[in-house]
Structure 1
Amino acid sequence: MSKGYFRYFLNKLVWLFITAVFAFVLNFILPRLMPGDPVAAITARIAQGMSNSTGMKEVYEQYATLFGTNRPLLEQFFLYVRNVLQGNFGSSFSQYPRPVADILKSSILWTIGLQFPAIIVGWLIGNTLGALAAYLKKGFDKVLMPISIFISNFPAFGMAIILMVIFAVDLKWFPTSGGYGFDMIPNFSWDFIVSVIHHYQLPFWSIVLIAIGGQAIGMRSMSIYELNADYVKYSRFLGIKDSTIVRYVFRNAMLPQITGLALSIGTMVGGALVAEIVFSYPGLGYTLLNGVMGQDYPLISAVTLIITIMVLLANFLIEIAYGLIDPRIKAAQSE
C-alpha cells in the first residue's frame, strides 16, 4: 500500500467515524422529538376498563421506570448506547416484552430476500437495455428512452399501487398483502414456500421496474459519452476491431453504474421500503411503520441505525474501491 493511498484511506476512515457518531446521536434524539407519550399509550391499552386512577398511575410509573422514559435524556442516551453495544437494543414498547433484536432478526431477512435480488435484477436489465440503446440507436433507442424516462419518474408507491390494482384487485392473480398466507405458520413445507413465492411477486417487480428506468438512462448516457471519446476514434483509425473497442467502452461506462449498484445495496434496507409498506410485506419497512405508529423509540432507533450503518459502509467501501481501481485517483494520491 502506497503512502499516498494510506493517507487517503485514513482520511476516509476518520470522516466515516465522525459521520457515524453524529448519525448515532440523531438516531437517538429524533424519535424522541415525536409528539405523544408511548408509555401513556401502553398504559391505556393495558389498563383498559380500569376506573381506579391511582391504579392507572401506578401502571404508568411502573412502565416508565421499566423503559427508562422518566430518566433524564442524557441518562437515556447512555442506556441506549449500552443496549446497542450489547446488541439487544432493549425491549420494544409496542410489542413488549419482545426484544427489539428479535423483531429485527425476523424482519431483516424478509427485506434482504426481497430487495437484494430485485436490485440486482433491475441493475442488470437496466444496464443491458441502456448499453443496447447507446450502441444500436435508431428505433430501439427511440422506443426505450421514453419508456425508461416515464418509468423512472414514477414514485415507488405509485408503481406498487398500480401493480396491486391491476394484478391483485382486478385480475386477482396475486394477493394484496403479506409475505405468506395469513392462515399459515412459517415452516419449510412446500405449501408455505409456494405461498411465499406467490406473495413475493408484486413487491419484487414493483422495485425492479423502478430500478430499470434509472439504470437504463444512466448507462445510455455514459455509453454515448464513451463512444464519442477520442480514444474510441483513434482506436477505430488504427483499425482495431469494433467488438474490442466496445468492450472497453462499456467497461469504462460501467464505473458510475457500479457506484450506483453499491449505493443501492448499501441503502437496500431503507431505499425501497415503500413497497413493503404498500404490500404489508413483513420486512423492515413495515416494521418501521409499526414502530412509528406505536411511538416505539427503541424499534425506530434500531431500524434507522441499521439503515445509517449500511449507507455509511457502502459509501466508504466505494471510496476505497475507487482509490484502488481508478488510475486517476491513484495518480492524485502519489502527487
Structure 2
Amino acid sequence: MAFLRHLLRKLGWYAAAFAAALGLNFFLPRMLPGNPVDTLVAASLGRGASSESKQRVYETYIHEFGLDQGLWEQFATYVGNVMRGDFGTSFSRYPADVSTMVADTLPWTILLQVPAVALGWIIGNLIGAVAAYRRGGFDRGVYLTSLFLSAAPYYCLAVLLLYGLAVALPLFPTGGGWSFGMRPEWSAAFAADALSHWFLPFLSLLLVFIGGQAIGMRSMAVYEIDADYVGFARSFDLPDRKIVAYIFRNGMLPQITGLALAIGTLVAGALLTEIVFSYPGIGTLLYDAILNKDYPVIQAVTLLVLIAVLAANFFVDVLYGLIDPRIRAAEKGER
C-alpha cells in the first residue's frame, strides 16, 4: 500500500505535467511568424492564378483546417481529437494523414534510440565503475575521454563522424535511411543496406551517452571505493570482478535517476542527429514541418516526444521505488 500511494502520487504529477505540456504543444507552434496556408496556396496554384482563385482556395483551406475558429475553440477541438488519436491532416503534404506520416517514421527513430540508450547505459556505467576501481592512467584516460564525449553537442559529434567516416574515409553512406534505387522491404539486401546507413547516427548517439553515464558512475564509484564493504571484500582476496560488481550495484541507484534525465536529452539530441544524417525518423519529419509551419505535424511529433519522455521518467521512478528500500521505508514513515 505504501508503494501504491507513492506510485499514485507520481502518476498525479506526471498527469499535471502532461496537461500543461499539452497546452504549450498547441499554442507554441502558432507563435511562429507567417501563415502556413499562404505557403500552401502559393505552392498549389502558382503565380499565374488570379487573386479571386487564390482567395477562394485560401478560404477553403482555412475552413478545412479549422483556422477560421477562435483560438480556444481550436484548442478544444485539438484536445478532443488527440484523445481519439486523431492528429489531423498535414498542411504541407495535404491531404496526407499526420498519424500515417508519424507511423512511417517512428520505427526508424525507435531502432536508432532504444539500442543507443540500452547499450550506452550498460557500457558507460561499467566503464565508469572499472575506471574508478583501477585508478591510475586508465582512470585518467577514461575520465578525459568521457568528459569530452559528454560535453560535445550531439550535432557536433555527428558532423565529425559524418566527415571522418563518410566523406574523408568513405566507409559508410553520407545520409539517408537506404540507398537510392532501393525501397523498404523485408529482404536481407535491404536490411544490410539500411544497417550501413543506421550505424553512424547510432554511433554518434551511443558515444555521447556512454560519456555521460561513465562520468556519473565514476563519480559515484569513487565514493563507494572507500566504503567499509570494499575493504572487507579486499581482505578476503575477492576477485576484482566481484568487487567491481558490488560497486556497480551500489552506485547504480543514482544512475537510474540520471537515466531519466538523460533520456530527455538523448531524445532531443537524436532529433538533431537525424537531421544531420538526413535519417528518415521523426527528427527529420519535425524539421521539415517547422520549415513549412505545418502545425498538425509539429504538434503530433512534439506530443509523441513528450509522451515518450514522461513515460520513460515514470518507468524509472517506478523502478527506483522497487529497488531502493529507502523509498518504501519513507512511505511507511509517512503513514
- What does 1:179-258 correspond to in 2, within 5 Å? 179-233=177-231, 239=236, 241=238, 244-258=242-256
- What does 1:116-195 correspond to in 2, within 5 Å? 116-195=114-193
Say if 2:318 is the partner of 1:320: yes
The SS at the match of 2:28 is helix
Deviations 1:204-249 (A, max 9, x none): 1111111121111111111111111244345656x48465554322
CA distance in structure 1 between the aligned counterparts of 2:191 and 2:27, rounded to whole angstroms: 40
CA distance in structure 2 between the aligned counterparts of 1:87 and 1:130, rounded to whole angstroms: 43
Q: 1:175 to 1:235 in 2, by over 3 A?
A: closer
Deviations 1:58-96 (A, max 9, x none): 010000100111211111112212221221200011111
TM-score, normalised with respect to structure 2: 0.93
Indicate if the aligned counterparts of 2:256 and 2:320 stay in contact, CA closer than 8 A: no
Q: CA deviation at 1:135?
A: 1.2
Indicate if the aligned counterparts of 2:129 and 2:244 stay in contact, CA closer than 8 A: no
Indicate if the aligned counterparts of 2:154 and 2:269 stay in contact, CA closer than 8 A: no
Counterpart for residue 332 of structure 2: 334
Counterpart for residue 62 of structure 1: 60
The SS at the match of 2:212 is helix
Instruction: Provide the identity percentage.
Output: 48
Q: 1:271 to 1:159 in 2, by over 3 A?
A: closer
Q: 1:52 to 1:274 in 2, by over 3 A?
A: same
Q: 1:150 to 1:266 in 2, by over 3 A?
A: closer
Gaps of 5+ in 1: none
CA distance in structure 1 between the aligned counterparts of 2:68 and 2:48, rounded to whole angstroms: 23
Gaps of 5+ in 2: none
Amino acid paired to 2:324: D
Deviations 1:305-324 (A, max 9, x none): 11111222222222222222
The SS at the match of 1:272 is helix
Amino acid paired to 1:103: M
Q: CA RMSD in A?
A: 1.9
- What does 1:98-117 correspond to in 2, within 5 Å? 98-117=96-115
Indicate if the aligned counterparts of 1:174 and 1:199 stay in contact, CA closer than 8 A: yes
Q: 1:138 to 1:297 in 2, by over 3 A?
A: same
Counterpart for residue 6 of structure 1: 4
Q: 1:142 to 1:34 in 2, by over 3 A?
A: same
CA distance in structure 2 between the aligned counterparts of 1:26 and 1:222, rounded to whole angstroms: 37
Q: CA deviation at 1:269?
A: 4.2
CA distance in structure 1 between the aligned counterparts of 2:116 and 2:324, rounded to whole angstroms: 28
Say if 2:303 is the partner of 1:305: yes
Deviations 1:257-294 (A, max 9, x none): 23333554566544421110100100011011011001
CA distance in structure 2 between the aligned counterparts of 1:10 and 1:102, rounded to whole angstroms: 34
CA distance in structure 1 between the aligned counterparts of 2:148 and 2:174, rounded to whole angstroms: 25
Counterpart for residue 294 of structure 1: 292
CA distance in structure 1 between the aligned counterparts of 2:220 and 2:63, rounded to whole angstroms: 58
CA distance in structure 2 between the aligned counterparts of 1:260 and 1:192, rounded to whole angstroms: 37
Q: CA deviation at 1:115?
A: 1.3
TM-score, normalised with respect to structure 1: 0.93
Q: What is the count of residue pairs matched by the alignment?
A: 332
